[in-house]
Amino acid sequence: MGASSSTPLRECWPSIPANRIWKLYSESINSPQKFWGKQAREHLSWYRDFGIVHSGSFANEDNAWFLGGKLNASFNCVDRHAFEDPDKVALIYEADEAGSGRTLTYGDLLREVCKLSHVLKGMGVQKGDIVAVYMPMIPEAVIALLACSRIGAVHSVIFAGFSADSVRDRVFDAKCKVVLTVDESKRGGKTIGIKTVIDKAIAQCPTVSNVLVFKRTGAEVPWVSGRDRWWHEELRKWPGYIPPEEMDSEDPLFLLYTSGSTGKPKGVVHSTGGYLVGAASTGKYVFDIHDGDRFFCGGDVGWITGHTYVVYAPLLLGISTVIFEGTPVHPTPSRYWDIIEKHQVTQFYVAPTALRLLKRYGSEHVTGARSHLRVLGSVGEPIAPDVWKWYFETVGKTEAHIVDTYWQTETGCHAITPLAGITPMKPGSASLPFFGIDPVILDPVSGAEVDGNNIEGVLAFKQPWPSMARTVWGAHERYMDTYLKPFDGYYYTGDGASRDDDGFFWIRGRMDDIINVSGHRLSTAEIEAALIEHPTVSEAAVVATPDEITGQSSTAFLTLKDGSEVFETLHAELVLQVRNTIGPFAAPKGIYVVPDLPKTRSGKIMRRILRKIMAGEVDQLGDISTLSDPSAVGKIIEAVKAAA
């Protein structure tokens, strides 16, 4: 199997180091066993070396990497660096309150992780058990992940913006025994009652026997005696060392629930060896991480970006990682730049949504010394050329390399991305595949590979890579149906993409019903399901609408049950319904109550028509005469116009 012959990757990398990279890339595709075997031995310490680098295929759904290998994630992230230099800074915590925070050395981190590991074991957590983590961006969140992996437990982080209902569904699905959380969190100057959300969620989860609560604000919180324990009190009881558990390379490291195209989120499962190799190798090559670097990823640990690039990649490579609890505009829109200057950050990584917001505030807020910044990363959504230019010129002063990294919860780490200092930059293009990724563009209808350049279609990967998700928790058929079955023999990304004349890839956005609001991945089906729970709502159709700041926002079209009328507080109630069912970040921006939705005669809602209406392209609706009631369209157009 080779890199798509039509993609002249060699020409894309013209300089001398690039030729070396081309050689490496070719090896990663043509001899993946050799390439990944070397990467795995170079970046990780194994208790027992693996015998076979890779076995299995997409078709047989049995991909496995580094077979026979034994390792521990926490040992690789903490112990080996702590033994070498216990005083090296591991975590730099910047609290929501500007000027406050603390640093933890690798020595500190090892002790904290070990103490928490003891506590978890004391609560009955065993190898293979799933532990839920519902925490804000504080060092204890990182400690939580590492303590789970140390004892062979599987972490399932739930973004702290999810509502009690969402937490309940995730904890219930994974049958978690223990939940790690805080009393309250602080973000952008606001205080959020985290423990009360957990109490509500856990009330319906019989598997949870213990909740461990870290005291972040010290507020009075409701307490279930016997079940709830204070973090500081429990950790005090245990010594600062516990040996790590020897895990099999294919043992699951974590679950991360993510939105699919149905209403029910999927628990994406990542394995230990493969995921860690992906995290370390992308950290090294994409971000050019070197010893002594200080890495600042603004992503939240509740999403994959936080897992791989706040926690695993920087710690595997033994550098310092910034944990930022706040928002980019609190107390001022210079907060990121203050942190970057204060900690002499070398790599900075955020979603374009934050950049759009900061650009709008004005370049005068981009202050402080930034000459130490070598790499500026972008993630999670397309970055528009004007925002890219602002990032490059205003933030990076044309001296830092911009890496527009395309990947997914399911890929585990970067898939299509520039390599810092090597790949030529094109604003708006995620550029070229990372090692081991063999991307192809498929015709969405026939599934045939579209050869040549200057072409468009759906993006798929032709061969397995170490950090690919192995399954969906308890629902392997969903894994197959979503990723491996749509196009036989390929991993289907769900994204549309094009390849330009130079062989560079441009991501065009999702082909399914997943939307991306401020870098938060949501499914329109999830929001629809939430809206339908309101007693007056009969049917709901949610579509993505382009948004200047959040990238996309959601717009809901609803019909009401017979006899129901629009009342004054309906809009507010519907927003609350979504906030309570999913979380505040999922609330639709626009809500239209209409007499009917555009449907085919067989009853299928034509969301495409709604998207066109929202885009103002009412002259491009296509043939609507086949709808069960074509007049519904005119009424919707009127409703949208009236609200404008």
Q: Which stretch binds ligand WTA (CB under 6 A): 87-95, 107-115, 200-208, 404-412?
A: 404-412
DSSP 272: H
* Cβ 375 to ligand WTA shortest distance, Å: 15
Helices and strands (H and E) in the chain: how many:
21, 30
Burial class of residue 611 (count of CB atoms within 10 Å of its CB; 0-12, 13-18, 19+): middle
Cα four-point dihedral sign 402, 407, 413, 416:
negative
Looking up tokens 């550098």 gives 319
Closest-by-Cβ residue to ligand WTA is 409
Q: Which stretch binds ligand WTA (CB under 6 A): 132-140, 402-410, 443-451, 629-637?
A: 402-410
Burial class of residue 358 (count of CB atoms within 10 Å of its CB; 0-12, 13-18, 19+): buried
430 binds ligand WTA (CB under 6 A): yes
Pick the binder of ligand WTA from 450, 507, 530, 586 (CB under 6 A).
Answer: 507
Query: For ligand WTA, which is the closer residue by CB, 281 or 408?
Result: 408
* Cβ 178 to ligand WTA shortest distance, Å: 26
Query: Distance between CA atoms of 173 and 454, rounded to whole angstroms?
Result: 44
* Cβ 267 to ligand WTA shortest distance, Å: 13
258 binds ligand WTA (CB under 6 A): yes
Pick the binder of ligand WTA from 510, 534, 607, 612 (CB under 6 A).
Answer: 510
* Cβ 321 to ligand WTA shortest distance, Å: 17
Residues numbered 353-392 forming contacts with ligand WTA, rule: CB under 6 A: 379-382
H or E, element range at 82: helix 80-84
Beta carbons of 386 and 357 less than 8 angstroms apart: no
- From 30, 77, 63, 90, select the one nearest 410 (Cα to Cα): 63
Q: Which stretch binds ligand WTA (CB under 6 A): 133-141, 151-159, 359-367, 405-413?
A: 405-413
Query: Distance between CA atoms of 448 and 181, rounded to whole angstroms?
Result: 48
494 binds ligand WTA (CB under 6 A): yes
Residue 459: beta bridge partners?
Answer: 441
SS3 content of the chain, % helix, strand, coil (to 5): 35, 25, 40
* Cβ 425 to ligand WTA shortest distance, Å: 13
Query: For ligand WTA, which is the closer residue by CB, 74 or 493?
Result: 493
Query: Distance between CA atoms of 520 and 512, rounded to whole angstroms?
Result: 16
Pick the binder of ligand WTA from 36, 66, 254, 406 (CB under 6 A).
Answer: 406
Burial class of residue 532 (count of CB atoms within 10 Å of its CB; 0-12, 13-18, 19+): middle
- From 443, 530, 455, 534, select the one nearest 490 (Cα to Cα): 443
Query: For ligand WTA, which is the closer residue by CB, 166 or 408?
Result: 408
| Residue 164 burial (CB count, 10 A) | 19
412 binds ligand WTA (CB under 6 A): no
Beta carbons of 346 and 295 less than 8 angstroms apart: yes
Q: Which stretch binds ligand WTA (CB under 6 A): 139-147, 403-411, 524-532, 553-561?
A: 403-411
Query: For ligand WTA, which is the closer residue by CB, 54 or 510?
Result: 510
Pick the binder of ligand WTA from 39, 76, 281, 409 (CB under 6 A).
Answer: 409
Query: For ligand WTA, which is the closer residue by CB, 396 or 551?
Result: 551
Query: For ligand WTA, which is the closer residue by CB, 494 or 503?
Result: 494
Identify whether 139 is preceded by a cis peptide bond (ω within 30 of 0).
no
* Cβ 510 to ligand WTA shortest distance, Å: 5
404 binds ligand WTA (CB under 6 A): yes
Query: For ligand WTA, which is the closer residue by CB, 347 or 409?
Result: 409
3-state secondary structure of 167: helix
Q: Which stretch binds ligand WTA (CB under 6 A): 134-142, 327-335, 360-368, 406-414?
A: 406-414
| Number of residues this chain uses to bind ligand WTA (CB under 6 A) | 23
Q: What binding mask, one character per residue, do residues 291-310 give for ligand WTA by CB under 6 A, x or -?
A: ------------xxx-----
Query: For ligand WTA, which is the closer residue by CB, 267 or 380?
Result: 380
How are beta strands 491-499 and 455-461 bridged, if at all?
A: antiparallel
Contacts of 446 (CB under 8 A, 6+ apart): none
Q: Which stretch binds ligand WTA (CB under 6 A): 39-47, 369-377, 419-427, 488-496?
A: 488-496
Query: Distance between CA atoms of 471 and 64, rounded to whole angstroms?
Result: 11
516 binds ligand WTA (CB under 6 A): yes
Query: Distance between CA atoms of 325 and 95, rounded to whole angstroms?
Result: 5
DSSP 22: H
Query: For ligand WTA, which is the closer residue by CB, 335 or 521?
Result: 521
Helix extents (H) in 474-555: 476-479, 524-532
* Cβ 422 to ligand WTA shortest distance, Å: 17
Residues contributing to the site for ligand WTA (CB under 6 A): 258, 303-305, 379-382, 404-409, 430, 493-495, 507, 509-510, 516, 521
